[in-house]
Every structure is written in C-alpha cells, then in structure tokens.
Amino acid sequence: MNAVIPQPRQATRTGATAGPRASGSWRVHSADARLRDLATTVHALLAPHLGDRLQPLGAVPDPDAATLTLALDGAASPDFRTPVGLAPTGEAGPVDESYLLTVGTEGVDCRAATPAGVFRAATTALHLLVTSGDRIPCQELTDAPHYAWRGLLVDPARGYLAPGELRALIDLAALYKLNVLHLHLTDNEGWRLEIPGVPELTAPAADGTPRAFYTTDDYRELQDYAAERFVTLVPEIDLPGHCATLREALPGLPAAPAPEGLTGRFPFVPPLDLTDPATAKAVATILDGVCRLTDGAFVHIGGDEAVGATEESFVQSIRELRSRVREFGKRPIGWQESSRAGVGPEDIAQFWVDVPMMDLPDTAEELSARPELLAAGHTLEFIAALKAFFAPADHDLARILDGGGRVLLSPQSHLYLDRAYAAQVVPPGQASTAVRLGFPTYRPRDVEHAARWEPASHSIPDDRVAGVEATVFAESVEFLDDVTTLLLPRLPSVAAAAWTGRAPDWNDHRTRLAHHGRLWEQRGLAYLASTEIPWAGQDPE
C-alpha cells in the first residue's frame, strides 16, 4: 500500500513492481522553465527527509539517482468536478489542483495542468518517499480536492510563534494539502502585527518590556513563503470584543453599551463601541493598514464572544467592520456571531459552536462526572450563564443559510484541536505533557473522534460551504512543540476530510498515520504517539 494522506482518489499498481529506491539518491528536475522556482520549493521541502541523498539543484546528475520530475501537462489533469467553496486566493473560481503522479522504475513524475497541481503531486511524492520503505512500488495516482478552502488557524496572539516557527507550520500545512493559514493575530493577551501609523499597539509595555510581534517585513516575508507553497495567509483582527490589548495601547476608548444587569456579574473586557467617532477612526486606521499589508483577498474581522455589548451595539460594530474591510479592497470573514448583523450572499461566516456541541452538564450529578470542569472552577450557575450567552448560536447556522451566506466549517466538537487528548490514549512517557495541553473545559477526546468528523453531518448544501478549517487556539501552549503536539496526529485527519470531502476510513487511516511519525520526526516536529495507532517504530520523545 501507499501511506499517502489524504488518500488519493484513484491508485493503480502498474505492471512493474520494483520501483525506485526511496533510500537512495534523488534529484529534483523541472521539465518546464515555468517550474524552476517551484523546483526550489520542492527541493527545500525534501531536504529534511533526504539529507545528503538529495542532489543540489543544478548539479551534474548522478546517473544512479532517481528523479522527481515536475511537469506542466494539461492532458494529465483528471476529470473531476470543480471543488466546492471559495478560492482563498480570491480568484473568481477555484484553482485546478488536480494531478497525475506516476511512479516508474527511474523515479516519480508529477504532472498537472497548473503549478498548484504539480505542487500537490510533489507533496504526495514526499509522502511516498518517507513512508514506502526501501522501494516505492510502481503505481499511478490521480487526485483532486473536494473543498477549495482547506485551512488551519493558529493563535500567536496568546502563544507567540516566531516567524521561523510559523514557516514550519506553513510547511506542515502544505504537506497535508492545506492551503490557508489563518493567523489569529489579536486578542486580550496580545497584539502581534505592526500597524503603520499606530505604533502604540506594539510598543514596549509600561515597564519597558518589549512585546513580541511581526514587523511589516516579517509579515510580507511570511506571505511570500506561504505563497511559494500555495498557502494563503488570512489575518484576523478580532473585534469588537477580545480587545484588551487594543484598549491598553489606546486608552480612553469608551465601552460599548452593555445589557441591563450584566455589569458586575461576570468579569469581561468591555467591547469597543464603533459608533464612537474616535474608536471608529482608530479601527479604520488599523484595518486600512492590515488590508494594505495583506496580499490575499480576505481579512477576518472576528466578531465572536462580544460579552457585554447590547445587540444593537454589536450589530452596528459588525456592519462598520465589514464596511471598512470592503472599502479597503478586501473581503471580510467573521465568526458565526457576525451573522446577527445581517447576512447576504457576499458574506462568509465561520461556524464554530452551538450549545449542544459545547457538551456542558445540566445537573450537579453530571457536573461531578466532569473533572476538567470542576478543576476549572465551573459551577452550575456559571454553566447556566454560559448556555444562556451562547443560546443564540443555536440559530446562527440557519441564519447564515437563510440569508444566502457561505459557511466556513470549524465545528468546536471535532475541528478545535486545542482539545486535550483522552488519558487512555496517551502513552505513559507523554502523560506530563498531555495533561497540561488543551483548553481546560473541553471534554478530552481520542484521535479517532476527530478523524470521524463528516463534513456532511451539518446538512449544509455544498454550494453554501466556503470550506473547512481546523483551529488550534493557544490558551495552554508555551512552545512550538506544544502546538504541534496538539495538531499531530489529528491534523492529517481533518486535512483528509477537507481534501476528500468525507471522513477517512478509520482503520485505513490509522494504518497510514502509523508511518507518518517518521515524517514528523525528520522535520523536528513533536507529536503525541497515541496508543490508538500502530506506530512504525518511531519515538516521539
């Protein structure tokens, strides 16, 4: 078998059985001058896995080396239907990412009608090289995505990631055929993007401590790096709630009008009031800067959990945020709560929660069986207040569809990968790491739980789905190793569902995953060696 993830749509063994030696020397060859830059990118992706067995680009070919050939070939594009959803590049229609990969006796040919398709084939070839043992069986693979938008959200606002660490995550996303990196850049805990004209946002703290953030040059370089791997960066400036760092940087901005009786009952950062002229001006300057810095077509405005704002204030704020992003030439995306400000066919809402998927107890007996909630200090009164606050979420999905909007699927129940692992699947050697990772109030789950998510389970017509996006928020993380341990081995399961449009067969998928620990180790990525998976001799520590 091959252990490619996502599993290709069609795989055919060819007559010859002795393919090229995966453990031998390899070179990358671009059969078209238009693919020379792509060959450089593919060569860089292969380097951690092949080491000195990978010939330098442009070197005199070693006659004993196998060849990874990159070629543009319109006739090689398989006849699959157009992918569902939005092209993250903002193009009118989804990019053709279909490809044909052929393993012959002398090497691997990656052919497609577009450079994007050739690149997807090359990542498949990398999987074959790493997971096939000594020789790659001769075979032909044809493949194409189901969803056009396949994303991963990371959260440097709470857990800062240096530019080099973000590049490692871009590589990881690309290797599993994801094509969006959603950067949650602002929150109560941090503001991570330099905004021209608003230096206060990234200035040192009052005690002189420097803040970690991405300079405009960092941001441009990250976008370029991602684009070389056919990944689009989507920045998120989360407003009108989640605004503590903005308030600290720009003191004196008035709070949004609050519902009667709320003040003093629960702690919250007052949301911004975008009907206030000074607030609206400051936010407009920020969004103008973000839109000017961003190459892609989309900017995420947040819009979630605006605790402490009246309905009228929230609606006015969301409409102002959307209007400003459009005025500056980008398309706004908001969390599902933004649908409460009205929805039209041009709107995109990211679906993440309803009360049932929050999985909260109703009785004292049920609460006593949830140690993670008790440890977080949750009481029945607080849980009842949470349910009341999130009750409108039960109607958001219908509101989006009724208004003609598009849904970006990120259900908390399965695609929030900042969920602790179930203790029974954690190997003893990783117990101390696993116990401190994950959002403290989510019920811990095993890897199989995430892998069994079906995109169709939400009963959304395909033409109304914008795409699929996993998230890994950073409330519990300190290092890149923490992020990748939460992501791996779960992210490939979500990537498989996003690429194929359905949950992978668990028994087949866990067998494929068993060979990918080697791939992650070769890239220096920490992962959880779940006992559900028959690992092929890897040691994650």
- Model confidence at 139, pLDDT cuts 50, 70, 90, reads very high
User: What is the tens place of the pLDDT at every residue in 317-376?
Assistant: 999 999 999 999 999 999 999 999 999 999 999 999 999 999 999 999 999 999 999 999
Task: Answer whether residue 536 is part of any domain.
Answer: no
Nearest to 396 by CA among 361, 441, 450, 356: 356
Q: Is residue 134 located within the same domain as residue 160?
A: no
Please determine, for residue 538, whether its predicted confidence score (pLDDT) is greater than 50: no
Two structure tokens written together for 187: 């929150």
> b vs e for 305-336, b when ≥16 Cβ sit within 10 Å of the residue's Cβ?
bbbbbbeebbebbbebbbebbeebebbbbbbb
Task: Answer whether residue 476 is part of any domain.
Answer: yes
Please determine, for residue 474, whether its predicted confidence score (pLDDT) is greater than 90: yes
Distance CA 31, CA 378 (A): 61
What is the three-state SS of 358-413?
Answer: HCCCCCHHHHHCCHHHHHCCCCHHHHHHHHHHHHHHHHHHHHHHHCCCEEEECCHH
Residue 414 near residue 454, CB atoms below 8 Å: no
Q: Is residue 351 located within the same domain as residue 499?
A: yes
Task: Answer whether residue 531 is part of any domain.
Answer: no
Distance CA 498, CA 455 (A): 8
Task: Answer whether residue 86 is part of any domain.
Answer: yes
Token look-up 């067998």 returns 511
User: What is the tens place of the pLDDT at every residue in 12-43?
Assistant: 988 777 799 999 999 999 989 999 999 999 99
For residue 436, the SS3 value is coil
Which CATH number does the domain housing residue 235 bear? 3.20.20.80
From the centroid of its chain, how far is CA 94?
Answer: 18
Task: Answer whether residue 433 is part of any domain.
Answer: yes
Q: Is residue 206 located within the same domain as residue 280?
A: yes
Q: How confident is the model at residue 266, as a pLDDT?
A: 62
More reliable by pLDDT, 539 or 129 = 129
The stretch 448-453 carries a mean pLDDT of 98
Q: Is residue 392 located within the same domain as residue 499?
A: yes
Task: Answer whether residue 300 is part of any domain.
Answer: yes
The percentage of residues in the chain with a pLDDT greater than 90, rounded to a whole number, is 88
- Model confidence at 90, pLDDT cuts 50, 70, 90, reads confident
Task: Answer whether residue 337 is part of any domain.
Answer: yes
Q: How confident is the model at residue 264, as a pLDDT?
A: 59
Residue 77 near residue 220, CB atoms below 8 Å: no
Q: Is residue 130 located within the same domain as residue 231?
A: no
Q: How confident is the model at residue 17, as a pLDDT?
A: 73
Q: Is residue 372 located within the same domain as residue 514?
A: yes
Domain boundary among 116, 143, 170: 143
- Model confidence at 303, pLDDT cuts 50, 70, 90, reads very high
What residues are paired with 186 via a beta bridge?
A: 191
User: What is the tens place of the pLDDT at every residue in 107-129?
Assistant: 999 999 999 999 999 999 999 99
Domain count, the chain: 2
Two structure tokens written together for 178: 């994801």
Q: Is residue 122 located within the same domain as residue 154?
A: no
- Model confidence at 540, pLDDT cuts 50, 70, 90, reads very low
Distance CA 152, CA 248 (A): 29
Q: Is residue 206 located within the same domain as residue 87?
A: no
Query: Is there a cis peptide before residue 504, judged by omega within 30 degrees of 0?
Result: no
Token look-up 């401190």 returns 436
Q: How confident is the model at residue 539, as a pLDDT?
A: 45
Q: Is residue 62 located within the same domain as residue 168?
A: no
The stretch 204-213 carries a mean pLDDT of 93
Which CATH number does the domain housing residue 25 bear? 3.30.379.10
- The DSSP bridge pattern shows strands 10-13 and 139-143 to be antiparallel
Q: Give the mean pLDDT of the chain.
A: 94
The percentage of residues in the chain with a pLDDT greater than 70, rounded to a whole number, is 96
Task: Answer whether residue 425 is part of any domain.
Answer: yes
- Domain carrying residue 101: 10-143
Backbone angles phi and psi of 191, in degrees to 5 = -125, 120
Q: What is the pTM of this model?
A: 0.96
Q: Is residue 186 located within the same domain as residue 291?
A: yes
Distance CA 535, CA 38 (A): 32
User: What is the tens place of the pLDDT at every residue in 368-421?
Assistant: 999 999 999 999 999 998 999 999 999 999 999 999 999 999 999 999 999 999
Q: How confident is the model at residue 541, as a pLDDT?
A: 39
Q: Is residue 44 located within the same domain as residue 180?
A: no
Q: Is residue 134 located within the same domain as residue 251?
A: no
Query: Is there a cis peptide before residue 163, judged by omega within 30 degrees of 0?
Result: no
User: What is the tens place of the pLDDT at every residue in 251-271?
Assistant: 999 999 988 766 655 668 999
